[in-house]
Amino acid sequence: MEVLLALVIGVLAGSGIWLVLRPRTFQVVLGLALLSYAVNLFIFSMGSLVIDKPPLVVPGLPANLEHYTDPMPQSLVLTAIVIGFATTALFLVVLLAARGLSGTDHVDGEQDTP
């Protein structure tokens, strides 16, 4: 399972980097979204997820930290999802405004040559 998760994170990160390096702004937006998904999965996987175990140590019971699910990465990912959504919405508004002002959607402002 770890190998599959590592491959998924690698493919998402590689695709995101490839799209960020493209000349059109919409491809850059999609690349940033894929990169944020890859980072969120990476952070979530660092939380040592265990099935059917409580997310917190119960007081009074012996603390067996082998089967402990850390809630901090989950809360970080939840916060990152909200911030990523707001950033993507802001970037799309800036994209539409720049396209309306310049008439092109290239990152460097150059037109396509047919």
Residue-wise pLDDT tens digits, 62-98 = 666 666 667 788 889 999 999 999 999 998 998 888 8
- How crowded is residue 67: how many other Cβ atoms within 10 Å of its Cβ? 11
pLDDT, one tens digit per residue, over 31-51 is 999 999 999 999 888 876 666
The pLDDT assigned to 14 comes to 97
Which pLDDT belongs to residue 53? 66
Alpha-carbon separation of residue 23 from 27, 36, 75, 103, 108 (angstroms): 8, 20, 34, 15, 7
The pTM score is: 0.76
- Residue 106, beta-bridge partner list: 24
**Domain locations along the chain:** 2-46+72-102
Query: Averaged over 18-28, what is the pLDDT?
Result: 90
